[in-house]
Structure 1
Amino acid sequence: MVKRKTGDKLGDIRRATIAEVVECRSSAASVIAIAKRAGLAVGTVYRYYENKEQLLRAVYLAVKTELHNAMMTAAAEASGSKAKIRSMWFAVLARHKGLI
């Protein structure tokens, strides 16, 4: 396994976690598989997260927060209910493309 000394380790872990949960469901996802997807040692993941539950919760909350912020920003920039909803919808779709 290639271990990176630089880069966005938290981002790599997050992307790997999302991909693993999408593919295997959260109950079947493992820290070992997530670390492998991220190209990191398992110990590196545990350096940032105490356990699998904390990792899944942190990634879920980060994704949820980013989607909420994207929707609220889009809504604030539009006028009228129809335009706000349309802007929010497209913001979610655009953000979704960047999650995996």
Structure 2
Amino acid sequence: MSLIGREFGLKPHQRKDLQKALRDENHPTTLKLKELGVTYGSEGKGRGAKSFLVKAAQLAQAAPNVINLKPKVRPFFRPAHSGRLNSKAS
């Protein structure tokens, strides 16, 4: 969510308001994102929690004999890595 905040120039309180709206399953923004296959997710609790948007990948027509096919999920607007990059050569 911090990446989304930076991309759209959101102030911290605006980002928190957006997160609050995304947690509300009946909010118009959440409903529209759900139509697009995007859901809000979070990992952890408190100050160290990470939140993100997840978009379910569209699958091709499955064979009729395939049962219990779960949709593949990929992170949406989630950083490629966590932590700091080491800029010094070892």
- TM above 0.5: no
Larger strand percent: 2
TM-score, normalised relative to structure 1: 0.27
Structure showing the higher helix proportion among its residues: 1
User: Could you tell me the TM-score, scaled by structure 2's length?
Assistant: 0.29
